[in-house]
Amino acid sequence: MDINKITEQHKKVCRLVSDRKIKQSLDILRDMIALSSTGDFRDEFDNIILTYRNMLRYTLEGIKDPERDRIYLKLKQTILGLADRVRQDILSHYSGWHTYWVKQQAEKEQKLTGRNIVETVDDLMFKPELDEWLKLTSEINPDPESELSRKHKQIIKKIFNHLWLTDYYGEAENSLIRLIRESGKFRWHESGLFVSAITLSALRVWQTAKLYHLIDFYTDRKPQIMERAISGLILNLHYYNGRILLYPDLVSRIREMGQEKEFREHCRIVVLQAIRSRETEGLSRKLHDEILPKVAKLKPRIEEKLDLDNILPKDKNEEKNPDWSEVFGESEEIYRSMEELTRLQMEGADVYMSAFANLKHFDFFKDFQNWFVPFYPDHEVVNEIYRDEILGPGSNELAEALYKTPFICNSDKFSLILNLKYLPSSQKSMMLKVFRMELEGLLQMEDDEVSSDPYRNFRIHVTQYLQDIYRFFKLSPYRREFEDIFTGKLDIYNSEFFRMTCDVGEAEAMLADYFFRKNYYEDALNLFLRQIPEKPSEAQLYEKTGYCFQQTGNYEEALKYYERAELIDRKAWTLKKSGYCLRRLGRFEEALDFYLQAGEIEPDNIHTIIMTGHCYLDLKDYESALKYYFKVEYHDPGNLKILRPIAYCYFALGRFDESEKYYERLSAGKLNAHDYINKGHLALCRGKKKEATEYYRQSILSGEIDKEEFMAIFAEDQPLLVSLGVNPDDLPILIDYILFIID
């Protein structure tokens, strides 16, 4: 059974229903039903066909049915519901996934109770254990090693699995969730775990009741639970974007919530943080491929510079940090990268994904629910380090500091704790010092930041939770059983719920600027274009739109928007961007005109001067080009790169002595493949054929170009060489000679 094919068929049915292409959706659904093991699906399908045929016939016959719209809506809901159930039936029988093994085990255990059908909370297999727990006082905190604690962990796991694996919630699940919310017997971290189970269940099988439960948990406004609830709600509303409008009651509820300012701000925070996950893979690559290898080379120096006894403050009121700029004084690129990563971390970027990816091999993460459990100081994993000779005395501070640390997600906090006991003694002692410092700093900082940013804690909890979910979909051994919701553009701003809940204009402007800063130009362009009708006289909006078109290679469209910006607010920047686009389009005379206009506004701007020179070079006006290049050389005498076009212009003008002088100066730096070719041309024009062939050979041996690229460049330059006196009949022979000495 091709499970991937079934998944794609299911998605296609859902898309077609959303697009009101009912007949096509039914054709695919029929094929899916043929693969299922449940005969009832065929009967339900036949009833749908009969209903739809009658509706079509009544419509064509002109019979007015006041109930038609309601029936049509119900029909689409029924098709989607049947498609969902058919998919689940096939997966449960043929996928071999862990999800369905756990589901089947739970069903077997349920049968042993003698109550196969779960209609009320009393029918649940774990109801006796639940009753026993509910009888206890809320103050009870059982010994982790006790039988009571063991039973408690079992009941939590059973509730999680039930909420996760139940396809459709009924009275039993609704009552169970009310108990969780209202009994006061479940700690915040347990309720947070159950919210994750509801979120996963909703992503697995659509049901509006599950989303209403997430809304209820959110409206309870309990910290660390509400953040998980609204995150789960938004991920589901985005994932099921095509279905939302088919459920008017849910739409009405979401719109009603969207009237609240706080809810809108919470949505904005979740959406931005979800979108920010797109940076994670790039940040991981940067750390793994660029920064860490360079840092490793500096290891002896770093160890010398970062003497912890001297860096850590002697006085708790003294704030003292390592002088990173001094440590990386010989590696400014690393220093800048570290600064950038620190800034991104403060914004909520996931900079630790790569660091902790290899610390998910512990048995702890083989337990499905542990990917979603919130970190808290009393967790049994923390209790393990109490026995450690070195870590034990400071474990309270360590756990409390980890709990309060805003920059590490829950999943990574567990990874860190689990890894601590395997560290050498010296590193354990160092970690305790670091965490004591961290705790002091966090306690001092927390009150100040909350007073200045009322959404600080909400933002931190959302960030950590979404990073937990991200790790589950990217790293967990069960990830292949779930559609990764973090793939693709994650364009939540295009979802129906976004338009229902957010102040669209303000939110889209914020997101557009975010995308623009992060170089997601297609996303930014989409949003800038939506804003233009509302802000037709804002020059900067046209400038940014033009720049997005430019960065995506659409130079013609870019020119249009730069022109509109220029009409409102004439700037050298806009003129130069127009010149750039015209150069890319090969319209060199027009490009020159724009750069000359920019030069009138800012005559001393080096970039404008050099680009004007390039335009003259494009037009083969080498004398004029030289005048501008000389200006650059005068203003920036240490710039070796400007020697390259000067040398070339002299060569093209036949002034070989001057050209050679500049190529000699250029040789003080590193010559590239094109430099060797041009030096070869110069030697060839001066009759030094052997010297020319050696330069040509070096251009190929540089590794920057291959033989085919060399031959293409040489062919382009042939007219210039001939115009400078080279015998055209010598050129084919010269090429063959070079090819022989290269082989």
pLDDT digits (tens, 9 = 90+) for 83-93: 999 999 999 99
pLDDT of residue 316: 38
Q: Taking residues 142-161, what's their average pLDDT?
A: 85
Among candidate residues 394, 404, 398, 402, the one with its CA nearest the CA of residue 447? 404
| pLDDT for residue 308 is more than 70 | no
User: What is the percent of the chain with per-residue pLDDT over 70, rounded to a whole number?
Assistant: 87
Among candidate residues 35, 47, 119, the one with its CA nearest the CA of residue 81? 47
Higher pLDDT, 73 or 142: 73
392: its two tokens: 């034990």
Higher pLDDT, 420 or 236: 236
Question: Using an 8 Å Cβ cutoff, are 579 and 611 in contact?
Answer: yes
Rg (CA), the chain: 34
pLDDT of residue 381: 86
pLDDT of residue 519: 87
pLDDT of residue 140: 59
User: Which of 122-131, 139-148, 340-349 has the weakest average pLDDT?
Assistant: 340-349
pLDDT of residue 55: 92
pLDDT of residue 15: 95
- Interior angle at CA 545, CA 541 and CA 547, nearest 5: 115
| pLDDT for residue 557 is more than 90 | yes
| pLDDT for residue 420 is more than 50 | yes
Phi, psi (degrees; rounded to nearest 5) at 186: -110, 130
Terminal-residue alpha carbon distance, the chain: 53
pLDDT of residue 14: 96
User: Element (H or E) spanning 77, and its range?
Assistant: helix 68-94
Q: Taking residues 280-307, what's their average pLDDT?
A: 51
| pLDDT for residue 469 is more than 90 | yes
pLDDT of residue 311: 30
Dist CA 494 CA 244 (whole Å)? 13
| pLDDT for residue 298 is more than 50 | no
Q: Taking residues 29-53, what's their average pLDDT?
A: 92
| pLDDT for residue 544 is more than 50 | yes
Q: Which residue carries 């309060």 as its tokens?
A: 404
Among candidate residues 631, 703, 638, 694, the one with its CA nearest the CA of residue 672? 703
Q: Taking residues 672-688, what's their average pLDDT?
A: 91
pLDDT digits (tens, 9 = 90+) for 487-499: 877 788 888 888 8
Side chain identity at 528, as an amino acid letter? F
pLDDT of residue 301: 37
Mean pLDDT of the residues in the chain: 86
Question: Using an 8 Å Cβ cutoff, are 633 and 666 in contact?
Answer: no
Phi, psi (degrees; rounded to nearest 5) at 647: -60, -40
Q: How confident is the model at residue 327 (pLDDT cuts 50, 70, 90)?
A: very low
pLDDT of residue 317: 37
pLDDT digits (tens, 9 = 90+) for 165-179: 999 999 999 999 999
Among candidate residues 103, 106, 85, 69, the one with its CA nearest the CA of residue 37? 85
Among 130-144, 313-327, 503-517, 698-712, top mean pLDDT goes to 698-712
From residue 381, how far is each of 421, 484, 541 by CA, in Å?
11, 28, 52
Dist CA 14 CA 706 (whole Å)? 50
| pLDDT for residue 616 is more than 90 | yes
From residue 527, how far is each of 268, 531, 556 by CA, in Å?
15, 7, 19
pLDDT of residue 290: 60
| pLDDT for residue 321 is more than 50 | no
pLDDT of residue 337: 54
Dist CA 79 CA 243 (whole Å)? 12
Cβ contacts of residue 51 below 8 Å, gap of 6+? 71, 75
Q: How confident is the model at residue 332 (pLDDT cuts 50, 70, 90)?
A: low
Higher pLDDT, 22 or 136: 22
Instruction: Return the number of other C-beta atoms located less than 10 Å from residue 687's C-beta.
Output: 10
Please give the model's pTM, rounded to 2 decimal places. Answer: 0.81
pLDDT of residue 84: 97
| pLDDT for residue 306 is more than 70 | no
pLDDT of residue 289: 63
From residue 299, how far is each of 269, 296, 326, 354 by CA, in Å?
39, 5, 14, 20
Higher pLDDT, 426 or 362: 362
Dist CA 620 CA 719 (whole Å)? 13
Measured over the CA atoms of residue 308, residue 314, residue 315 and residue 319, the dihedral's sign is negative
Higher pLDDT, 306 or 155: 155
pLDDT digits (tens, 9 = 90+) for 629-679: 999 888 888 888 888 899 999 999 999 999 999 989 988 878 888 989 999
